[in-house]
Amino acid sequence: MKAEFRDDQYQLSYPDGVENHWWHLARNRLLTQQIRQLSKQQASVLDVGCGRGVTVKYLRNQAIDCIGVEPAEAKPFKDIEQYIFTGKKAEDLSKAERDRYSLLLLLDVVEHIANPDIFLKDLIALFPNVTHVIVTVPACPELWSNYDEFYGHYRRYTLNMIEDLSHQLNWHLMWNFYFFQLPYLPARLIIKLGQKRTVEMQAPIGISKKIHQFISYAVTMGNYSRFLGLPGTSISACFSLHKN
């Protein structure tokens, strides 16, 4: 895995209040639906590479038992410090802690890894009770930009690439689809025009919070166009593990 985010990358990606950005709101809403779809009982969830805890905070507010682990010395968001292990990798967690999880989240993590099959096999070996892994990744190689280069991405994924990864891992692929269809065309236009993407995530303040909330619902509704086979800027995949 590439080196952890630099301080400037954290400041640009995770400013205070970024949890109110439409991108995080829409992705977290999708994740909540997926987690509840997987199990009738409450799962114990570990968010691997959780950053400052945007998703941990959201899921806990949805009464989902989610803990985060982050290898960098990130500063967790207020009120969730006790639910975030910072300055630790997953293998640094105690065996008792690792044993309690049944679901792992790797949210926009895998694209930072040169050999994801090796990384994921080694990771799962540490968690004997995990039955499912949910992964999100940036999608569509044609959207490659300065943003990917700045944040140290190895690749942007396609659905076929995720299918190939499932075969390499010998994991059952439960779902695999594009989401964030609405932002795809603007992102494609930026690339076509030779413009650069902003690498800074702006946290909404004041009335813009309401605007971002509205956009997040519009983007969420747009996700249903995946049934038409339309591309999106991200992919969501869920793997089921068959363990002896």
Q: What pLDDT band is residue 6 in, cutting at 50, 70 and 90?
A: low
> For residue 218, is pLDDT > 50?
yes
Domains of the chain listed by start with CATH number: 7-240 (3.40.50.150)
pLDDT digits (tens, 9 = 90+) for 33-80: 999 988 755 789 999 999 999 999 999 999 999 999 999 888 899 889
**Region 142-161 average pLDDT:** 96
Predicted confidence (pLDDT) per residue in 188-203, tens digit: 999 999 999 998 889 9
pLDDT at 229 > cutoff 90: no
Lateral strand order in the sheet of 172-179: 84-86, 65-70, 44-48, 103-107, 132-138, 234-240, 172-179
Position 106 scores a pLDDT of 98
Convert the pLDDT of each residue in 10-42 to its tens digit: 677 888 899 999 999 999 999 999 999 887 557
User: What's the CA gap between 178 and 140, in Å, rounded?
Assistant: 9
- Predicted TM-score (pTM) of the model is 0.93
Query: Residue 14 and residue 8: Cα distance in Å, rounded?
Result: 10
